[in-house]
Amino acid sequence: MDCPTTHPSASVRRAFRPWRHRRRLVLGALAALLLASGPLRAEIDFTQLSLDELGEIRISTLERRSEPLFDTPAAVSVLRAPDILRAGDASVADALRLIPGLNVAQLNPDKWEIGVRGFNGVTSTKLLVMVDGMNLYSPYYGGVDWALADVPVEDVDQVEVVRGPGATLWGVNAVNGIVSVTTKSARDTLGALVSVREGSTAGLVSYARYGAALGRHAWVRVYARAIDSNTATPRSNTPGPTPFRQVRTGVRVDADETDRLHFTWQADYLLEDNQPQLNDPRSASAREYDNWYDHGDVLGRMTWKGGAAGTLTVQTYVDHGGDHVAGIPSLGGGTLALSQSGTDYDLDVSDDLRHGRHDLVWGGGARSTQFDIAARYGIQVRQPTGTENRYNFFAQDEYTLLPDTLKFTYGTKFEHHESIGWQVLPSVRLAWTPGSRQTWWAAVSRAVRAPSRSERDIFMPLAQLPGSPTSPPVDVNLVGTTATREEVLTAYEAGWRFRPQPRLTFDCTAYVNDYTQLRNLAPVVSFQAAPPAVIDNLTIDNSLRAVGYGVEGQANWRVSDTWRLNAGVTEERLQPRGTPVTALVAADFALPDLMWNAGTWVALPHDVEFSTEVYRVGGMTHTTVPGYFRADAQLTWRPIAELELNVGVQNAFEPTHLEYGTASLYPIAPVDRNFFARVQWRF
């Protein structure tokens, strides 16, 4: 398995500079030389770079496209397209296991919860996910549906991951981390590609794309992918994984009007039909229900470089999603049906100006969300339909105190939500690069998470405890309130990157997170006269504090052109201060007590490649999920240039294991061992 690049990529600096185009990079020791004048450059031995690395160097600016920024003052990792393909995963979410600090838990073949620095017991609420600049964090339930982020792996250009807050540029909800998935330019996907992957327990994935030039300066790609999990071997024990069928299709056009003006248009549509198995409390057995959802987007982006305005990026998109589930049995009797749909209109502008020692990024954005939560049969929503607007502006300056040695980055975002008013999201960061082999950095930042619509609006019967001759029955309800406030994080981080030689890198980060106003439940008890009953309304409030701390480490070693090694380790703790009212609230603080992974990729003779990765995920604190080992391996053979064959196994060590706790929005099934075979044909 290939090593994920340890270091921040240029565009991850977009974690700190949205949509900023590829920043200066530096191949560690080569950086200063690259930037130096001609004669010095002659000393760089480009023949030491691999084919992938050569393709990353930008020739007009002496900057690298997406290779690590050695001196970025944040915990950033990048998975590039070859890393993902070598990992042998069918989904972006699974490939993220390669990045230390990310707790990837698969709930079902089409559902994941991914936590970073804790908070992965109920729904991962503090990780922001973007796909091609589109925000997938749900304002309804305050989490991310990874099925939406799961773009075809064949189209992924890179996945950038920031651990720690990025609210100064990304805004509210970028609390514990950001994952940004970017797909390839249509210019890089010319020709046809067809792939079919069959997994013993994961089902059939079929994918096709075609790319063509539209004249000399524009390119188009159309693609479609179908997943049918019903072909998987059925499990003997229940509840099993949710069977589903999913289709995703889209089109993307990229155009370069001149060297300085670039346009992207894209549209995507996803439709899934699945049959979750949920326990029916009346018969105490699992039964199947029907759920379907869809999601579509249309996006336009313009990047203009070199004008009087610096590098200006304007992006706008509309996305629409609907989710419908029927017939869920309710503890309070009857059935629940929850149907919701929403449309987002989003506009973002950012600009990057460099002058002298300053590198200023500034901009703003606005977003309007129209929602329609047609809740019935038990779940009530105080405000089922409406519009929510938010807007923001930000500025961040990177000031070079000492050229190539010391940089100070400071800035803030101001963001307004109707629910929480104006929020100030500042950060300060310092990077010290004493020589070309190492960087030390430190940062202090503030981030907030806005309460979701359900935390503010929901009324849901949880349980009805029967009465006795001496006591009335008790109705327990979950109640949201508009008084719910934002959750606040103040984060202190420090890191060290070390490159003792060009092919060997280490990246370590330590952090202390101080949370206030975390969500809790407060019981509000009242008595109902007729019929006599005790009403226990568990009302959402913000009475918890918490402290989290941990260390994350990663090492990559490109031993030779045909052999790579990688390893990662994370150890962290997260403790609530205050008393979580229920086990459910306590489970919010779940994280694995220790995670590590180690793997290798090797190119063998006869066009065969082998990769393997072993993951250890410790038991989840605050829940009952035990620790597990996961081992993946893949063999790839390219008999001719057009054809690629893969066979592999996922979860080789265990026939089945559980990766998530007992509570989630989605049904949770154990993850099974999966043998897979894949064929890819390009023409």
Q: Name the site residues for another protein (rule: CB under 8 A).
A: 38, 41-42, 44, 46-47, 49-52, 54-62, 65, 82, 85, 185, 187-188, 190-191, 259-260, 305-311, 353-356, 358, 360, 362, 395, 397, 561-562, 603, 607-609, 636-638, 640-642, 644, 682-683
Closer by beta carbon to another protein, 318 or else 360: 360
Taking every pair of C-alpha atoms in the chain, what is the biggest distance, in angstroms? 95
Closer by beta carbon to another protein, 106 or else 315: 315
Closest alpha carbon to 454 in 137, 129, 142: 142
Rounded CA separation 596/240 (Å): 28
Minimum Å distance from CB 594 to another protein? 35
- Residue identified by tokens 């980060």 is 509
Closer by beta carbon to another protein, 56 or else 541: 56
Q: What residue type is assigned to position 346 of the chain? A: D
Rounded CA separation 101/413 (Å): 26
Q: Is 83 left (phi over 0), alpha (psi -120 to 50) or beta?
A: alpha
Rounded CA separation 135/146 (Å): 12
Minimum Å distance from CB 395 to another protein? 8
Quote the DSSP letter at residue 97. Answer: G
Minimum Å distance from CB 326 to another protein? 45
Closer by beta carbon to another protein, 60 or else 468: 60
Minimum Å distance from CB 64 to another protein? 9
Minimum Å distance from CB 600 to another protein? 16
Closer by beta carbon to another protein, 52 or else 475: 52
User: 3-class SS at 637?
Assistant: strand
Rounded CA separation 26/63 (Å): 7
Which residues are registered as beta bridge partners of 312? 304, 351
Minimum Å distance from CB 46 to another protein? 4
Minimum Å distance from CB 350 to another protein? 14
Closer by beta carbon to another protein, 396 or else 623: 396
Q: Exposed, middle or buried: residue 309 (CB in 10 Å: 0-12, 13-18, 19+)?
A: exposed
Minimum Å distance from CB 426 to another protein? 14
User: 3-class SS at 453?
Assistant: helix
Residues 160-173: b if buried by 16+ CB within 10 A, e if exposed: bbbbbbbbbbbbbb
Q: What residue type is assigned to position 231 of the chain? A: T
Element spanning 54, H or E: helix 51-54
Q: Which residues contact 218 (CB under 8 A, 6 or more apart)?
A: 253, 254, 255, 256
Minimum Å distance from CB 258 to another protein? 9
Closer by beta carbon to another protein, 395 or else 598: 395
Closer by beta carbon to another protein, 282 or else 354: 354
Closer by beta carbon to another protein, 312 or else 489: 312
